[in-house]
Structure 1
Amino acid sequence: MRFVSLCLAGVSSLAGAALLAVGPAQAGEDVLYAPPARWVEPYKDKDIDTAGKTPLALYDVQQRIESGVLSIYVDRAIKLDAPQALTQAGTSSAAWQPDKGDLIVHRVQILRGGQVIDVLAGGAKYTVLRRETQLEQRTLDGALTATLAVPGLQMGDVLRIAYTQTIHDPTLKGEVQLTNPLIAAPTEAGFAREIISWPKAEHVVWKTGPGTVAVKESEIAGDHRLTIALPLAKPEDMPEDAPVRYRRPSAIQAGTFRGWAEVSQIFAPLYDPKGTIAEGSALAGEVARIAGQSADPLTRAALATQLVQDQISYQMNGMATGNYVPQTPEQTWQLRYGDCKAKTYLLLALLDALQIAAEPVLVNSSASDAVPDLLPMPNAFDHVLVRATIAGGEYWLDGTSAGTRLANLGDTPGFRNGLPLRRAGAELMAIAPRVPRVPQARVALTFDERGGIDLPTLVTARASLSGAIGANLGAIVAQVSEKQKDEIIEKFAGSTLPNLVITGGSLSYDADSATAHIDVTGIQSGNWERQGVRKREDFGDLPSKDVTFNPDRARALWKDMPVNLGFASNQVTELTVLLPEDEDGYLLRGRPDLDMTFAGNRLQRTATLTDHRLHVVESVESLGGELPAGEIAAEKGKAARIANSAVFLLSPADAVRQWQLGLPEYRARIAPYEEAYAKAIAREPDDADAYLNRASFRWGTTDLAGALKDFDKAIELDPSAATYRRRALLKRVMGNFEAGLLDARKAFELDPSAQSARALAGVLGRTGKTQEALALIDEFDDYGEQHPSFVEVRADVLAYGGRAQDGLDAINALIEERPGQAYLYNSSCWFRARFKVGEDTMIDACNKAVEQSGMASAALDSRALAWLQLGDPGKAKADADAALALAPDQTSTRYFRAIALRRMGDGSGDSYIAYLAKIQPGQVRDFESYGLKP
């Protein structure tokens, strides 16, 4: 992260209804009223198209370079064809800096039909205000603002205003500069142009770009003139990952500077540090203090930079000649504030007193790659910093940034080019990037998964942010309230650990290392996904998992454009995963050791799995810069290889599953989770979601009574239909069907939707209220996308009401209506087996379900039940074994297998039958209703 002040205001640009200049001619604090100068070519009133549809009827900008003065003439006519336009144009305003020139108003006219109303002739005048418009950004620009509430405006009028602003900046030693963006389509104008002129004797260079701009050159009465018809054609779309020089808007530049060396020479004396720290002064005392702390010049440079960053607050000073002239180091120390110029000058003075060679360097904070394409002018830059030379090494020191310490002193700033300021002059220099020695961000994650692969993850995370971002966060930590700290912690957790239920967190700052720490603990949904009989865990929190590089250079115009790779960076992620200590057989897959590069990035990884503990460290180092278009394809391939190499874990086939956690030997695994959920609830005691999260966990780990208590509390806090539906289902699992019916009715009352109707109908049917259930289904089944779900509920309702054949007929009709949908065959098999209907073709339906199902484990489960109902426990056991090999967490399949064993004279499954009756009594009651009794 870069913390940069835009404190070198030097760009002449025109935009909107107001003009903010960078330095006028003779100091003038009053608005002047006079005709345009002789060099202006006024646009004739009669040529203004007042009947056209475009709101901008006239946009005429003419600029003049002469004898060290830039004069900017602007003539605009705006149609007031909407109430908003009338309101916005009702007050005219313009801003200028009186220490550098004048604001001269030529006309304020209302064009109404064929009538021209001269507002100034009617006595209206601009009111001059001194108004600092950017105080919240700590900016003082010294500008005056002239405002005029235009009297008599009506809808349909055309308001025409023309004025000139003169700019003469003594800092530039008689040189002149201008940069003006050129309006382009889709902006429309009745008439628009840009004219730049100068006496032929003046040395003026000019340039347009990027892209082709048609410029007409001519000589008129001893003047050289450039004319550009506007708006330009709509600029071509550019890829957002192209360097800025390709994406910046077209502009015209003109100036009298003869090269970068002249700019360097003019500005160098402004930063001469010699003699700026008086002997015996407070600043001299600071120099002595730094010198007394260390004799090492690197340490001294770091301490001096830290002093300027920490002790001098930022405030932009654009008053008087403050745009380019810094206040003295002594002034800055006394005021304890300053802009980038003042901070740089102070730092140069400190370094000079400490006998460290240093020089100021101008840079551009947002378009540094474009600087070599610009004309040599001061307004190519908006920031200044220090380049120090210590023991032959180059160090970039920025007093306006933050967090500089000895450890990161060698880091390079986020700029591509800079202009050293030297009395002898200097050319542009490229800033060679270096990978930061200290990671700017280090994230340490611990995932405690000792509860098992089916449970959530207990997360402990620490993000350590160093350098500027660390120091800035540290400043925030010292000032914000506890509530605001919690918001920062939640924002970090939301961006780094999605869906984390926070149980605790803190912010801290180590001033010695300029490192801020964000610590958070919480509970996150488990990441294990079924992979056959095993489960697999991928780690999206590791950088390698998100490696992508896919620049689009398909268009002909783009094919040769390089890719902007950003600036030098260094980030480290450390992941520790704690696995169940009483389970062996976890496997580490992927590439444990990796050192590969792609698109200017170097990704290194070490991963080890020992003693039920996975430890992974991944670092990503980047030099930034640009990638030539011809290398994109190769780098895409490298990125894909890295993404495919990501490490992951495979669980053992016999890992403890969630349904087993009700057994006494595994209950100890639950305690850490209960403690974590209790902390989450303590943080948000009035948040229903906190209780719902714990309810889901307790339900899944067989604590049905505990889950019910949490649902009760959640409904007390937020009686939503969704929570009533969930509690109704829980009560059914617990075997309390009548109580579940009450909750289903309440859910429907709160949310009479199709979802609530299906849930209510299902419970009504299970409790014998067949007709009411069928009536509800008839009312809400619209035969659309949800029709299959309604058919399945209808079939169950009919079966529970003694009409199983009617239910099967409904399912068969749906299969005929929607052939080829494999899940419907499983629905048919499952229904037939549960309600002992259609037995003559039951196995045919079940076979088709197994053959076509994308969820073979579910279809095998259904067929196992069918074999039991047909009196073939041996085949039922075989199907159950096959299903469990694919999905060992299917509790119903284990029950069917136990029943099959019992019918085969083997009582080894009896303990499971008793266990399931304890943890899912409602499901066992359903099984018993199908005739599956031990």
Structure 2
Amino acid sequence: MVQQDVRYIYVGLNGGNLTPAGADETWQRRYGDCKAKTALLLALLRELRIEAEAVLVNNSGTDDGLDERLPSPRMFDHVLVRARIDGHSYWLDGTLPAVVPPRAEPVIAYQWILPVSPQGSSLEQLGWAPASRPNEITLFEIDARAGFDKPARIINTTIKRGIEGLQQEVQFAAATPAQLLGAFRQNAIGNTWQTIEDVQWRYDIKAQASILTIIGTGAVDWDDDGDGMRSLALPGGGFNPPEKRIRAAEQDQALPFYNRPDFNCYVTTVRLPSTTRAEQWSHKDDIDNRMFGRAYYRAFDIYDGSLRMVRGSRIEQKEIEAVKAQRDNGRIPLFDNSMGWISYNPGGKNIRTEAGKRVPAAHEIDWTADNVPCLASNAGS
């Protein structure tokens, strides 16, 4: 109710940037900022006999090391509610769209929070763990069965979570299917797309993800390697090499290096030209590597008339010790930054897929589910 029936408007006059409007006033106005919405939520929860408190947070992502800075109200730019039911904490943010339910974790990964209480509270550090689900998955299905010189039917699906997914929900929820189709036809045709037949969008509340699918046709950028051989760099198949972690000489060389949390995944499936055979195809090497606290994973498979690739990357350590960073600096020249090339040789027998290993195609599993095989630890066999 607070998310949907009370409009968000920032109030900053006459002390309003620090003093919230009361619950009754906000309900009568039917608008309020984060402070007003939090006050209304607290009043409603109190009437429901649910324990809850206001919590100050920093939405700009600059709360690292907040406990070592001088105290200042300017360290916080947002307030939300933490409720407790049966010993479990639930986070409620009245400023977010109504598709966001009470959650066991905040939408934004805060490092430090300040609960607001009559007796006063100390800063509280929230626990950190690697993301359990990708914040973005990009799926490509390229149907090239008609041949190398024919347009391919392409299905491109993006799954976005977190703030980017909610921004997309706000942007697309107000548009009709016809308006979405018209907008993408106007802005997207010309590069990947020759035609766009359909655009489908929905917000999956269970998966907490915005799901956008574009269906159409496009030219596949096959490289002609001579003697009938062809090659193609799959979308999203390569990794950029990491940058060195170094500090100026006057800085403390023993300090750790920070990693901004991230987990992304690319899934590309090519239905191979029907005139070719699996043994005529090859691909670049698989990757299973860790550097600077980030996992890098890539796997290929040739199966059932299609060549499949999954490529994932996740931050697994928030901070990297200086010694480990120095060691990984020396490993950068060995980093495999090859693009996800697949190759066709009419006279070749280059199948390189390990026996028994299966990489799922873009259409074979629900990629909004938990434990999708975007990393080596989640890959099936």
Q: Which bin holds the TM-score, normalised by the shorter protein?
A: 0.7 to 0.9
1:751-777 Cα distance to aligned partner (Å, 9 max, x none):
xxxxxxxxxxxxxxxxxxxxxxxxxxx
Q: Is 2:274 aligned against 1:581?
A: yes
1:323/1:551 Cα in 2 relative to 1: closer, same or farther (>3 Å)?
same
Answering whether residue 313 of structure 2 is matched by residue 617 of structure 1, we say: no
Please list every run of 5 or more consecutive structure 2 residues that lacks an aligned counterpart in the other structure: 349-381
The SS at the match of 2:74 is helix
CA contact (8 A) 2:234 2:342 kept: no
Q: Which residue of 1 aligns with 2:95?
A: 400
Q: Aligned to 2:119, which of 402, 424, 432? A: 424
Is the aligned partner of 1:538 residue 2:233?
yes
Shift of 1:506: 1.6
Matched, 1:380 2:81: no
In structure 2, what is the Cα distance between the partners aligned to 1:433 and 1:488?
Answer: 38
Distance 1:600 1:374 in 2: 26
- For 2:72 and 2:121, how far apart are their aligned partners in 1? 13
**Aligned CA distance change for structure 1 residues 428 and 440 (closer, same or farther; 3 Å):** same
TM superposition shift of 1:346: 2.6
| Cα distance, 1:580 vs structure 2 | 1.8
Q: Could you report, residue by residue, the CA deviation over 1:354-403 in whole angstroms, capped at 9, with x for unpaired residues?
A: 44443222122222125334322323222112234455554443322334
Q: Give the Cα separation in 1 of the matches to 2:116 and 2:266.
A: 40
Letter paired with 1:479: A
* 1:652 aligned partner: 345
Match of 2:32 in 1: 338
8 A contact 2:283–2:341 mirrored in 1: yes
CA distance in 2 between counterparts of 1:389 and 1:549 reads 41
What is the percent sequence identity of the aligned residues?
Answer: 25
Shift of 1:325: 1.9
Q: Which residue of 2 aligns with 1:831?
A: none
- Say if 1:533 and 1:501 are closer, same or farther in 2 by CA, change over 3 A: closer
**Partner SS, residue 368 of structure 1:** coil
CA drift at 1:322: 1.9
Which of these residues, 210, 219, 226, is aligned with residue 524 of structure 1? 219
**Helix, strand or coil: the match of 2:259?**
strand
For 1:500 and 1:375, how far apart are their aligned partners in 2?
53
- The residue number in structure 2 matching 1:275 is none
Tell me what 1:473 maps to: 168
How far off its partner does 1:446 sit?
0.4
CA drift at 1:472: 3.1
Partner of 1:293: none
Cα distance, 1:490–1:425 mapped onto 2, change above 3 Å: farther
Cα distance, 1:595 vs structure 2: 4.7
- Determine whether 1:608 maps to 2:301: yes
2:201 to 508, 516, 527: 508
**How far off its partner does 1:426 sit?**
2.2
Q: CA RMSD in A?
A: 3.6
Cα distance change on mapping 1:311 and 1:436 into 2, 3 Å: farther
Tell me if the contact between 1:404 and 1:468 (Cα under 8 Å) persists in the aligned partners. no
1:439–1:374 distance in 2 versus 1, CA, 3 Å? same
TM superposition score normalised by structure 1? 0.33
Residue 360 of structure 2 corresponds to: none
Q: 2:92, 2:101 within 8 Å by CA — same for their partners in 1?
A: no
Change (3 A) 1:625 1:309: farther
Matched, 1:413 2:108: yes
Q: Does 1:316 align with 2:10?
A: yes
Checking the alignment, whether the CA contact within 8 Å between 1:453 and 1:526 is kept in structure 2 is no
Matches within 5 A, 1:550-699: 550-551=243-244, 553=246, 555-557=248-250, 560=253, 562-567=256-261, 569-584=262-277, 585-592=279-286, 595-622=288-315, 625-635=318-328, 643-644=336-337, 647-654=340-347
- Aligned CA distance change for structure 1 residues 566 and 632 (closer, same or farther; 3 Å): same
Cα displacement string for residues 867-918 of structure 1 (whole angstroms, at most 9, x for unaligned residues): xxxxxxxxxxxxxxxxxxxxxxxxxxxxxxxxxxxxxxxxxxxxxxxxxxxx
**2:367 alignment counterpart:** none
Alpha-carbon distance in 2 for matches of 1:532, 1:627: 49
Distance (Å, rounded) in 2 between the aligned partners of 1:605 and 1:354: 50
SS across alignment from 1:566? coil
* Residues 627-668 of structure 1 deviation map (CA, whole Å, 9 limit, x = unaligned): 34443344456777664476542212359xxxxxxxxxxxxx
Contact 2:294–2:314 (8 Å) recurs in 1: yes
Q: How far is 1:339 from its partner?
A: 0.8
Preserved CA contact (<8 Å) 1:396 1:413: no
1:359 aligns with 2:72: no
Distance apart, 1:445 and its partner CA: 0.8
Taking a change above 3 Å as real, the CA distance of residues 360 and 598 of structure 1, as seen in their structure-2 partners, is farther
2:154 to 459, 483, 487: 459
Residue 276 of structure 2 aligns with an amino acid whose one-letter code is: E
CA distance in 2, matches of 1:622, 1:489: 36
CA distance in 2 between partners of 1:443 and 1:541 (Å)? 8
CA spacing shift, 1:368–1:554, aligned 2, 3 Å: closer
* Structure 1 residue 412: Cα displacement: 5.2
Equivalent pair of 2:236/2:340 in contact (CA under 8 Å): no
Partners in 2 of 1:500 and 1:391 — Cα distance?
52
Where is the strand percentage greater, Structure 1 or Structure 2?
2
CA contact (8 A) 1:564 1:627 kept: yes
Structure 2 vs 1, CA of residues 360 and 625 (structure 1 numbering), >3 Å: closer, same or farther?
Answer: farther
461-470 or 449-458: which moved more?
449-458
Distance 1:532 1:393 in 2: 65
Post-superposition Cα deviations, 1:5-43, rounded to whole Å, max 9, x if no partner, equal xxxxxxxxxxxxxxxxxxxxxxxxxxxxxxxxxxxxxxx
Please say if residues 597 and 638 of structure 1, whose CA atoms lie closer than 8 Å, have aligned partners that are also in contact. Answer: no
Normalising by structure 2, what TM-score? 0.73
- Asked if the contact 1:374/1:380 (under 8 Å) is kept, the reply is no
> 1:435 and 1:631 mapped to 2: Cα distance?
19
More helix by share: 1
In 1, Cα distance between equivalents of 2:186 and 2:293: 32
Structure number with higher relative contact order (C-alpha < 8 Å, ≥ 6 residues apart) = 2
| Counterpart amino acid of residue 611 in structure 1 | D
CA distance in 2, matches of 1:472, 1:377: 30
| CA–CA distance in structure 1, aligned partners of residues 283 and 315 of structure 2 | 27
Aligned amino acid, residue 547 of structure 1: N
CA contact (8 A) 1:599 1:635 kept: yes
Note if contact 1:412-1:433 (Cα within 8 Å) is conserved in structure 2. no
SS of residue paired to 1:387: strand
1:325–1:485 Cα change, 3 Å? farther
Alignment CA distance shift 1:389-1:525 (3 Å): same
Pairing partner for 1:329 from 12, 17, 23:
23
- Which structure has the larger Rg? 1
Q: Using a 3 Å threshold, how does the CA distance of structure 1 residues 636 and 607 change in structure 2: closer, same or farther?
A: farther
Aligned AA (1:365): N
Structure 1 residues 394-439: Cα deviation after superposition (integer angstroms, max 9, x where no partner): 4443322334247x64355243222122233222222323445454
1:442 paired with 2:137, answer yes
Structure 2 letter corresponding to 1:632:
A
Is the 1:312–1:338 contact (alpha carbons within 8 Å) kept by the matching residues of 2? yes
CA, structure 1 residues 503+596, in 2 after alignment: closer, same or farther (shift >3 Å)? same
Q: Which amino acid aligns with 1:465?
A: K
Mapped to 2, the partners of 1:525 and 1:480 lie a distance apart of 31
Residues 113 and 123 in structure 2, CA contact (< 8 A), matched pair in contact too:
yes
Pair 511,549 (structure 1): closer, same or farther in 2 beyond 3 Å: closer
Q: Does 1:349 align with 2:40?
A: no
Aligned length: 341
Distance across 2 between alignment mates of 1:529 and 1:639: 32
Q: Which range moved further: 452-461 or 569-578? A: 452-461
Secondary structure of 2:64's counterpart equals helix
Q: Deviation of residue 498 (structure 1)?
A: 5.3
Contact 1:317/1:338 (8 A) holds in 2: yes
How far residue 557 of structure 1 moved from its aligned partner, in angstroms, is 4.2
Letter in 2 for 1:347: L
Distance 1:394 1:627, change over 3 A: farther
